[in-house]
Amino acid sequence: MNNAPLQAVILAAGESSRFWPLNARHKSLFRIMGKPLIWYTIDGLRKAGVREVIVVQGPKRGIEEELKSLPFCIENVQYVVQQEPEGMADAILCAKNLIKGQFFVLNASRINCEDIAKRMIEKSRQTGTKVVIAGQITAQPWLYGVARVDGDKVLEVVEKPEEGKEPSNIKVPVVRLLDEKIIGYIEKAAGTTNRNDAFEVAISMYAKDHDARIVMVDDGYGGISLKYPWQLFDAQRYVFDRFLTKKTIAKSAQVAKSAVIEGNVFIGENARVMEGAVVKGPCYIGPNCVVGTNSIVRDHCNLESKTVVGALCEAARSIFASDVHIHQGYFGDSIFDSGCRAGAGTITANVRLDRGEIKAKTKKEKDGVKTIEEIATGVKSLGAIVGENTKIGVSVSFMPGVLVGQNCAVGPKMLVKDNLEDGQKYY
């Protein structure tokens, strides 16, 4: 590798449609431990040696607005706009005037990029190759771009091959270390193929003319691809393991003498933990949060700023965005986006009676056509996932894996067995 600063192109212009109902903004802006996921991605790149970051965002410029207020220990962050989410190849071409030398390309939510990037840099140094891609073993190769390899040499990449005709079981949607020469191949591929396949075609063309290698990765965190909303739990576990390593209680926090704080717990500025409350880490309690009297918050819970857990409530393995208010009830393996309200007696069932794998119905868009597909989540414990500003009445019960849209209203004593669309009233 040369001595020029390493660059990274971060892809953050997609619509995050499969991340519904948590897609009111780009999925990389969802916060864990007070910071958006893209912050952890950029921080990981910095630790791997990257000194310049180019963020490709959508025309609303939501990424740029969110990151303005956050400190970055990196020399240069620049922004370009991709007017339409037309794939990776088009995104790279949007940034081509800023690219020089070797550069990484990765999704904005690839928060575990540090170790992967370091391994790819090392592979490049050892072999002298300028292009290294990261691969993972998958049981469903027809859903991804898949590499055909000879040892660690990449021969081609095939985008979503026909089931039964896959060149391997190695998917490559993780991180790519590229040479600026790839831009010429992308421009050629973009003129001859579907734009969504242009990057894979360009890699295949490059591999015929130059050396390209693969690094196999298995990070133990489910890949943290964040295609679907329940994959936030993998991201949360990674962030907690890396950044929540001790008990920290802000001086301005108020913790009652009878409260119990165990394990790695962060309690932020002006937060209050009331009498008889129990917090068992790892847990993050953000600034100005309230953990009510005799409530329990335990086992990988994340409460962003101004969230209130009312008295006699139990929250386990759940994620609450900012300004969420919940009351007496049970919230297990659930996610509530900002501004949600849940009345007393709310129950999120999180396990099937037969203890089997939970399936969820998600939105899918292809060629402008929106459909609903039922997919296996890969988990046996999953509660409700609720979009921002949804209001829930008293004594409401949710079945496992239910997705509730943004700005919904659920009346008292309702049993929610199926998804609710954005803005739906369910009485």
% residues pLDDT > 90 (the chain): 74
Distance CA 80, CA 180 (A): 17
Looking at the structure, do residues 229 and 374 belong to the same domain, yes or no? no
Tell me: do 261 and 221 sit in the same domain.
no
Which position has the token pair 């209203």? 409
Q: Rounded to whole angstroms, how far apart are CA atoms 115 and 93?
A: 27
Residues 215 and 353 in one domain: no
Tell me the backbone φ, ψ of residue 83, rounded to 5 degrees.
-65, -40
CATH number at residue 136: 3.90.550.10
192 and 276, same domain (yes or no): no
Residue 330 pairs with which residues in a beta bridge?
A: 314, 347
Domain count, the chain: 2
Residues 277 and 360 in one domain: yes
Average pLDDT, whole number, for the chain?
91
In a domain, 364, yes or no: yes
Q: Are residues 134 and 70 in the same domain?
A: yes
**Mean pLDDT in residue range 24-38:** 95
Strands 31-32 and 35-36: antiparallel
pTM: 0.92
DSSP 5: P
Joined tokens for residue 293? 């009297």
Tell me which residue range forms the domain holding 296. Answer: 247-426
Tens of pLDDT, residues 108-142: 999 999 999 999 999 999 999 999 999 988 888 88
Residues 314 and 393 placed together within one structural domain of the fold: yes
Note whether 288 and 166 are same-domain residues.
no
Mark whether 219 and 295 lie in a shared domain.
no
- CATH for 296: 2.160.10.10
Cα 229 from Cα 7, distance rounded (Å): 29
Angle, helices 113-127/37-48, rounded to nearest 10 degrees: 30
pLDDT at 299 over 80: yes
DSSP secondary structure letter of residue 151:
T
Decide if pLDDT at 367 tops 70.
Answer: no
- Which of 385, 389, 384, 391 lies closest to 343 in space, CA to CA? 391
> Do residues 282 and 418 both lie within one domain?
yes
Inside any domain, residue 131: yes
63: which 2 tokens? Answer: 């990424």
For residue 309, give the DSSP letter. E
Q: Are residues 330 and 414 in the same domain?
A: yes
Assess if residue 1 is contained within a domain: no
Residue that finishes a domain, picked among 180, 206, 237: 237
The last residue of one of the domains, among 215, 237, 259, is: 237
* Single residue among 237, 263, 296 that ends a domain in this structure: 237
What span, in angstroms and rounded, lies between the C-alpha atoms of 404 and 21?
A: 7
How far from chain centre, in Å, is Cα 183? 27
